[in-house]
């Protein structure tokens, strides 16, 4: 009997010890959780060199275990808090039982900290404190926190801008060039035309503050939109300058294209086959419309990306050459597409269609560097040549390509043969002139007088 009682007493004791241990583990874990200070990791995506009139911080907070609860910024000058801003995130519910890393939480915040939002900000120095909080039980239920402190100069003197060229005549859809000077410390300058920013380049390496900027009035920008020269410094100060110009409106052609099953059957499947991002929409017409709309748009975006790899000087000396051939379509023709007598689409043709003999040699318009050579969406087999300072030329629908990316090509060098790959109704060369990836009228670049007056004569004093 006594042996049995002993056994049960030992059993009760064991259970008690077990519960005490479990409680101890829970208390220790909770204690650790509550005492934890660990907050979200903080990264500044746009690290400012100082504070100016329009400075912005781009703060990114990430937390592997908890939700990012809030971000705050504080600007302190001479011991006084001159500005405070905070953003709270409504996040997923807090999971109190979680001790293991959960789905990561990230938050990005663009917060202005320039004089535009802090009228009391003074030139000199300032302390910027950036704070991130998570929703953990850390710091006795106030949440884990992390802080980044920046000591920055405060400057308001905007860059100085002086326009050097006096006359600018721009054809709607075409280009011109403006020269200007900027003060040292300017980090970005160019011409803004509506939503388009055309960056400038130095006229020569030894004169980084004397800038040239080829700019355009794209065919889809209203000619009454104001163009201005813009200069920005590294702390977000900006200067705008007016310059004298005149835009000549232009009436673009209209054209109707009658779609046939034969044509669509010939062009659409090869494009879909070579474009993994496009999927079969189930009908020939739907697939054509996807290619003509969606893929055209994707290609346009890719050209803007390609333009960022431009050389910082002009790589050419003579006017651009037009392939001797018949013009079948010109720049900014507004096309209406009909199928079985019904209007099914509208698009703008942003280049020249030049037709000659079948498989005629395609020649580089000017000296440059090949930045694309291969299958390229609606343009089929295509080549893009960079001529420097944002100017590029595109050759489409080729049957064969004789160059590769990175090749230096000479004016009139054969780069391949014409064909009808991509969205082409027959053997021809499609040529697009691009400025910063935006199609512009190539006629100007083929015209020796235009090249002389708008480009070469203006650069003469700096050669």
User: Which residue, 165 or 432, is less far from Zn ion as judged by CB?
Assistant: 432
Q: Check residue 422 for interaction with Zn ion (CB under 5 A).
A: no
Q: What are the backbone dihedrals phi and psi of residue 297, each rounded to the nearest 5 degrees, phi first? A: -65, -45
Least distance (Å) between residue 376 CB and Zn ion: 13
CB atoms within 10 A of CB 106: 14
Q: Which stretch binds Zn ion (CB under 5 A): 38-46, 279-287, 383-391, 426-434?
A: 426-434
User: Which residue, 193 or 429, is less far from Zn ion as judged by CB?
Assistant: 429
Q: Which stretch binds Zn ion (CB under 5 A): 41-49, 173-181, 340-348, 425-433?
A: 425-433
User: Which residue, 215 or 331, is less far from Zn ion as judged by CB?
Assistant: 331
User: Which residue, 52 or 396, is less far from Zn ion as judged by CB?
Assistant: 396
**How far apart are the C-alpha atoms of 165 and 155, rounded to whole Å?**
30
Task: Indicate the residue whose CB is closest to Zn ion.
Answer: 430
User: Which residue, 185 or 425, is less far from Zn ion as judged by CB?
Assistant: 425
User: Which residue, 353 or 367, is less far from Zn ion as judged by CB?
Assistant: 353
Q: Check residue 430 for interaction with Zn ion (CB under 5 A).
A: yes
Q: Check residue 353 for interaction with Zn ion (CB under 5 A).
A: yes
Which residue, chain included where needed, has tokens 């909080």?
Answer: 133
Least distance (Å) between residue 429 CB and Zn ion: 8
Q: Which stretch binds Zn ion (CB under 5 A): 63-71, 309-317, 350-358, 414-422?
A: 350-358
- Contacts of 267-274 with C-beta under 8 Å, sequence gap 24+, read 267/291, 267/422, 267/423, 267/424, 270/421, 271/295, 271/377, 271/378, 271/380, 271/422, 271/423, 274/375
Asked if 307 and 388 count as a contact pair (C-beta separation under 8 A), the reply is: no
**How far apart are the C-alpha atoms of 215 and 436, rounded to whole Å?**
9
Q: What DSSP designation does 221 have?
A: S
- Contacts of 26-30 with C-beta under 8 Å, sequence gap 24+, read 29/99, 30/137
Q: Which stretch binds Zn ion (CB under 5 A): 18-26, 79-87, 289-297, 348-356?
A: 348-356
Q: Check residue 299 for interaction with Zn ion (CB under 5 A).
A: no
The enclosing H or E element of 84 equals strand 80-88
Q: Check residue 115 for interaction with Zn ion (CB under 5 A).
A: no
Is residue 316 classed as helix, strand or coil in its secondary structure?
Answer: coil
Count of residues that interact with Zn ion, criterion CB under 5 A: 2
Asked if 293 and 345 count as a contact pair (C-beta separation under 8 A), the reply is: yes
Q: Check residue 333 for interaction with Zn ion (CB under 5 A).
A: no
Q: Check residue 290 for interaction with Zn ion (CB under 5 A).
A: no
Q: Which stretch binds Zn ion (CB under 5 A): 5-13, 52-60, 335-343, 353-361?
A: 353-361
| Cα angle: 338, vertex 351, 200; to 5 degrees | 140
Least distance (Å) between residue 349 CB and Zn ion: 6
Positions in the binding site for Zn ion (CB under 5 A): 353, 430
């Amino acid at each position: 009997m006594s042996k049995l009682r002993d056994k049960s007493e030992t059993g009760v004791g064991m259970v008690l010890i077990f519960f005490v241990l479990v409680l101890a583990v829970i208390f220790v874990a909770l204690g650790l959780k509550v005492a934890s200070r660990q907050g979200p990791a903080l990264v500044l995506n746009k690290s400012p060199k100082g504070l100016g009139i329009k400075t912005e911080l781009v703060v990114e907070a990430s937390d592997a275990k908890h939700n990012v609860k809030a971000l705050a910024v504080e600007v302190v000058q001479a011991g006084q808090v001159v500005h405070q801003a905070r953003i709270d995130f409504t996040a997923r519910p807090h999971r109190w039982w979680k001790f293991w890393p959960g789905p990561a939480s990230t938050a990005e915040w663009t917060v202005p900290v320039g004089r535009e939002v802090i009228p009391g900000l003074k030139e000199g120095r300032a302390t910027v404190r950036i704070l991130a909080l998570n929703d953990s039980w850390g710091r006795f239920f106030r949440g884990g926190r992390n802080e980044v402190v920046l000591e920055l100069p405060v400057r308001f003197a905007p860059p100085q801008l002086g326009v050097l060229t006096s006359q600018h005549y721009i054809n709607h859809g075409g280009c011109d060039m403006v020269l200007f000077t900027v003060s040292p410390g300017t980090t970005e300058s160019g011409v803004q035309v509506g939503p388009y920013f055309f960056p400038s380049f130095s006229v020569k390496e030894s004169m980084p503050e004397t800038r040239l900027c080829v700019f355009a009035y794209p065919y889809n920008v209203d000619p009454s939109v104001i163009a201005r020269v813009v200069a920005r410094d590294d702390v977000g100060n900006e200067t705008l300058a007016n310059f004298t110009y005149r835009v000549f409106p232009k009436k673009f052609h209209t054209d109707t294209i009658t779609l046939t099953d034969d044509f669509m059957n010939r062009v659409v499947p090869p494009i879909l086959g070579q474009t993994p991002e496009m999927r079969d929409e189930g009908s020939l017409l739907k697939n054509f419309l996807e290619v003509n709309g969606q893929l055209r748009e994707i290609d346009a975006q890719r050209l803007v990306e390609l333009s960022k790899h431009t050389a910082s000087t002009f790589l050419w000396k003579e006017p651009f050459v037009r392939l001797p051939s018949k013009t079948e379509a010109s720049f900014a023709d507004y096309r209406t597409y009909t199928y079985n007598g019904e209007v099914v689409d509208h698009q703008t043709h942003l280049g020249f269609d030049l037709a000659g003999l079948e498989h005629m040699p395609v020649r580089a318009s000017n000296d440059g560097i090949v930045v694309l050579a291969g299958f390229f969406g609606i343009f089929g087999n295509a080549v893009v040549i960079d001529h420097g300072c944002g100017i590029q030329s595109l050759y489409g629908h080729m049957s064969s390509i004789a160059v590769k990316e990175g090749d230096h090509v000479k004016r009139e060098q054969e780069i391949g043969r014409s064909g009808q790959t991509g969205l082409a109704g027959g053997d021809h060369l499609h040529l697009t002139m691009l400025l910063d990836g935006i199609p512009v009228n190539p006629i100007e670049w083929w015209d020796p007088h235009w090249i002389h007056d708008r480009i070469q004569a203006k650069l003469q004093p700096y050669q």
